[in-house]
Amino acid sequence: MSIAFPKPDEAILSRRKDIIGGLGRIVAPEALIVSEDERRAFETDGLTAYRQMPLAVVLPSSTEEISAIMRFCQENGVKVVPRGAGTSLCGGAIPQADAIVLGVSKMNRVLDVDFQNRIARVETGITNLGISQAVAHEGFFYAPDPSSQLACTIAGNIAMNSGGAHCLKYGVTTNNLLGVTLVQIDGTVVQIGGEHLDSAGYDLLGLITGSEGQLGVVTEAVVRILRAAEGARPALFGFERVEDAGACTAAIIAAGIIPVALEYMDKPAIQICEAFAHAGYPLDVEAMLIVEVEGSDQEIDDMLRRIVAIAEPFRPKTIKVSQSEAESAAIWKGRKSAFGATGRVADYICMDGTIPTGQLPYVLRRIDEITKSYGLGVANVFHAGDGNLHPLVMFNINKPGEMEKAEAVGEEILKLCVEVGGCLTGEHGVGIEKRDLMTHQFSATDLAQQMRVRSVFDPLWLLNPAKVFPLEGRLAA
């Protein structure tokens, strides 16, 4: 799965000075980044194996500035790669040599909070965690919680329809978003959705969510905020067999219980995360589930009792219920640091596919077999409750050929997800990483129809080009 970038447009490259001049007439000098050293900070994202130096980077401060930039880019045939914090794991924010990067990080204000109606209006450069922090004093929070929430922006969350450990109960971004302000490539500003539930007409908000920066630049968002539950408590269940953890997950979901979170970690992941976070994870098991429930103390006790009863036939070797806030925090610190902690011991690529939860035992066995057949290691950590896998395929970048092997493993795993009735991406998006695998999920007719939708918003394909759709497919559309 070696990823190709299209050849840059020489005509655009030769006009770089004029393009920079045009952008400089729209934004303040400090909002325009042109030197090679400073542009380097934007040449990649969370998919660090791939990089491209952008033509220039522009960091506007308002919707009006973004509108003017977009109009200028459309008139001059300049490609635009929207960017939040650059934490995308699928290369969604990686630039192209003949494109500008348009970052919203300076637009990070909370514009309005309405606790009575449980909504917050924000500029989209605000971090995911920043929203919860802004409403915490009244006992509220914003539910979707990607592990990158300290850094990633709501702009990126909307573009990728991001999820997180606590999305099993509360839903992912699309379920917590009510409206957006979208700047289209011709500079037009449109309001989609609003402060109310649902809208008349087509579900354009659903279309924009997960559109990976290809339909417009989202500058403001209205999100749902929720009152935090009275209490929450995670419990750890350790199993001697991977299959038992998978089957136990499927049984909990099949019983109709919706914990707030139901996370899976296999032995390598447990050991890596425990060494980093000292979370009290059991080290003598092959797989572990973190199951968190919330409510009053009595509700928590009741639900945990039911979950323990469901788990018992799968013979858990460890059952450990958190006894304090500190213990709960340590359990989540371990899980949420999984990617960073893995990065301490190996290079890795993080895959992101979904499967029907009933297929977990089979898929976990196959992931192990596939990885071993390439002589590589894998740490599995994922949102098991909704079947969203994150195998971290480990390799050594200094060993020639190992990264290519890791990519081949990743490709086989994603094809496996599709084969068992799942999907190429659960929450990280397609970007460049899975672009060339889209033909395994969709027929040529399906893809052509999706590309037509894209063309309605961006007829010249200037917005985040070379992502999501196979390059040759674009020409045929």
Ligand X SMILES: Cc1cc2nc3c(=O)[nH]c(=O)nc-3n(C[C@H](O)[C@H](O)[C@H](O)COP(=O)(O)OP(=O)(O)OC[C@H]3O[C@@H](n4cnc5c(N)ncnc54)[C@H](O)[C@@H]3O)c2cc1C
Among 19, 33, 46, 253, binds ligand X (CB under 6 A): 46
CA count, 13 A, side-chain hemisphere, 241? 11
Which residues touch 165 (CB under 8 Å, ≥6 apart)? 145, 147, 261, 263, 292, 332, 335, 336, 383
Which residue, 163 or 179, has its beta carbon nearer to ligand X? Answer: 163
Cα–chain center distance at 98: 26
- Using CB under 6 A as the binding rule, whether residue 153 contacts ligand X is answered as yes
Task: Please report which helix (H) or strand (E) contains residue 280, including its range.
Answer: none
Which residue, 428 or 435, has its beta carbon nearer to ligand X? Answer: 428
Distance CA 99, CA 62 (A): 21
- Using CB under 6 A as the binding rule, whether residue 427 contacts ligand X is answered as yes
- Using CB under 6 A as the binding rule, whether residue 44 contacts ligand X is answered as no
Distance CA 348, CA 369 (A): 18
Which residue, 70 or 304, has its beta carbon nearer to ligand X? Answer: 70
Among 44, 132, 148, 354, binds ligand X (CB under 6 A): 148
Quick note: the x/- pattern for ligand X over 212-231, rule CB under 6 A, is xx---xx-------------
- Using CB under 6 A as the binding rule, whether residue 435 contacts ligand X is answered as no
Give the strand pairing for 377-383 and 318-321.
unpaired
Among 54, 60, 95, 164, binds ligand X (CB under 6 A): 164
Quick note: the x/- pattern for ligand X over 85-104, rule CB under 6 A, is xxxxx--xx----------x
3-class state of residue 274 by DSSP: helix
- Using CB under 6 A as the binding rule, whether residue 124 contacts ligand X is answered as yes
Q: How many residues bind ligand X (CB under 6 A)?
A: 37
- Using CB under 6 A as the binding rule, whether residue 160 contacts ligand X is answered as yes
3-class state of residue 455 by DSSP: helix
- Using CB under 6 A as the binding rule, whether residue 163 contacts ligand X is answered as yes
Among 52, 63, 162, 181, binds ligand X (CB under 6 A): 162
**DSSP for 182-244, written as a single string:** EE-TTS-EEEEE-SSSS-SSS-HHHHHTT-TTSS-EEEEEEEE-EEPPSEEEEEEEEESSHHH
Among 54, 95, 130, 146, binds ligand X (CB under 6 A): 146
Among 15, 224, 335, 428, binds ligand X (CB under 6 A): 428
- Using CB under 6 A as the binding rule, whether residue 84 contacts ligand X is answered as yes
3-class state of residue 327 by DSSP: helix
* CA nearest neighbour of 416 among 391, 394, 392, 395: 391
- Using CB under 6 A as the binding rule, whether residue 15 contacts ligand X is answered as no
Nearest distance in Å: CB 467, ligand X: 6
- Using CB under 6 A as the binding rule, whether residue 147 contacts ligand X is answered as yes
- Position of minimal CB gap to ligand X: 156
Nearest distance in Å: CB 299, ligand X: 26
Distance CA 199, CA 65 (A): 28
Nearest distance in Å: CB 157, ligand X: 4
Which residue, 83 or 267, has its beta carbon nearer to ligand X? Answer: 83
Q: Give the number of other CB atoms < 10 A from CB of residue 226.
A: 15
- Using CB under 6 A as the binding rule, whether residue 464 contacts ligand X is answered as yes
Asked if 361 and 243 touch (Cβ cutoff 8 Å), the reply is yes
Which residues touch 156 (CB under 8 Å, ≥6 apart)? 84, 85, 87, 88, 92, 93, 162
Which residue, 123 or 402, has its beta carbon nearer to ligand X? Answer: 123
Nearest distance in Å: CB 129, ligand X: 12
- Using CB under 6 A as the binding rule, whether residue 157 contacts ligand X is answered as yes
Strand order across the 189-193 sheet: 110-114, 119-123, 217-224, 177-183, 189-193
Nearest distance in Å: CB 332, ligand X: 12
Which residue, 247 or 265, has its beta carbon nearer to ligand X? Answer: 265
Among 159, 236, 287, 432, binds ligand X (CB under 6 A): 159
Distance CA 464, CA 210 (A): 13
- Using CB under 6 A as the binding rule, whether residue 60 contacts ligand X is answered as no
Which residue, 289 or 303, has its beta carbon nearer to ligand X? Answer: 289
Nearest distance in Å: CB 86, ligand X: 4
- Using CB under 6 A as the binding rule, whether residue 176 contacts ligand X is answered as no
Distance CA 19, CA 55 (A): 9
- Using CB under 6 A as the binding rule, whether residue 156 contacts ligand X is answered as yes
Which residue, 156 or 391, has its beta carbon nearer to ligand X? Answer: 156
Task: Please report which helix (H) or strand (E) contains residue 82, including its range.
Answer: strand 79-83
Distance CA 477, CA 466 (A): 14
**What residues numbered 63-82 form the site for ligand X, per CB under 6 A?**
81-82
Distance CA 457, CA 460 (A): 9
Nearest distance in Å: CB 94, ligand X: 9
Residues of this chain that interact with ligand X (CB under 6 A) are 45-46, 81-89, 92-93, 104, 124, 146-148, 152-153, 155-157, 159-160, 162-164, 212-213, 217-218, 339-340, 427-428, 464
